[in-house]
Structure 1
Amino acid sequence: MAEDELIARARDGDPDAWRELYESLTGRLLVWLKARPSGDVAAAPEDLVSQSWLVAAHSIADFRGDRDAFAGWLFGIARNHAASARRRTLRRATAPTEPIGISELLTGDGAPDLADKVAGAEWTRAVLATLPEREREVLSCTEVAGLSSQQTAVALGMTATAVRVARHRGLSRLRRTVPEVSPTPG
């Protein structure tokens, strides 16, 4: 695929090249995003366009191709952002209910379970607080949030090997110190 002079100039940071690309593609991208079935997505098409251009500006150094390929690449970025926004909206969807006061929660049938959960969360925070920051972050991701080593590595900006080592060290440290800490008062 032939390298386009406009793309090469944009890669070099030429503001006129970026302006030309932006003006030629943004309107079409916005119309395309507005025409797609959104499914009650919280992100506006204008926001998705902005996010797409930010990714394109950040990743242009890795792009190879002409204007047509750039347009396809940019639309693919926008499609991915729209899909992520849709998934995020679905995860955050809530069903409206009547507000319940904390006193009602503590006196209801589930009060012992709730008290156990609160005590367990406080105990977990207290135990993790005894660890060095790196081990605490890794164990929070892997053991508390349930992320894999690879997901934790991406989230924390580490290698998967470093995550496994920090996890091993943190769990070993906890095995030595947890008997000193009790999850129940007393």
Structure 2
Amino acid sequence: MSDATGPARPWVELARDGDPTAWRALYDAHAGRLVLWLRQLPTGDPAADHDDLAMEAWSVAASRIADFEGDDDAFAGWLFGIARNHVLNARRKSARRATYAMSAMPEPTLPMETVTGPVETAEAVRRALAMLPQREGEVIACIDVVDLDVATTARILGISRPAVRVARQRGLRRLRAAGWAV
């Protein structure tokens, strides 16, 4: 089935056939980045668990792998797109169920160099991305947080590559103007 250099057939093709080794390889390649990316996206619900959203995306991917017509390289974009749809659904659900007043006071922003540890850094990144328009925040989360390329980011978000580049440029400009050291 596979040798030291990789599978004889693409992992996605093997996963379609139900090969658990192929699913493990796909999971190992994408699971960490998927959860990291999801943690950067606001869901509107403080109780929403990003690990649960990732699990839901993997479940959909497993049930719909037969419908997927891409190769191993396109799998990440497809999977992240599924996860993005789950985040959007969580936002809509949260907006429908919101029963508490939101404060109109913006949170003070801190330059990144004042952040000291990984937990503080993650929270600072979330605050920075939350102050951006949705598309700009999603693009920056994809490219600068989880290190996806422009083409994959475009597939995930369903926009063109130039739109990804423009959104990233605008988002970074907004962050710099707000005092973030990016």
More helix by share: 1
Task: State the TM-score, normalizing by the size of structure 2.
Answer: 0.48
Task: State the TM-score, normalizing by the size of structure 1.
Answer: 0.47
Select the structure with the greater relative contact order (CA < 8 A; seq sep ≥ 6): 2
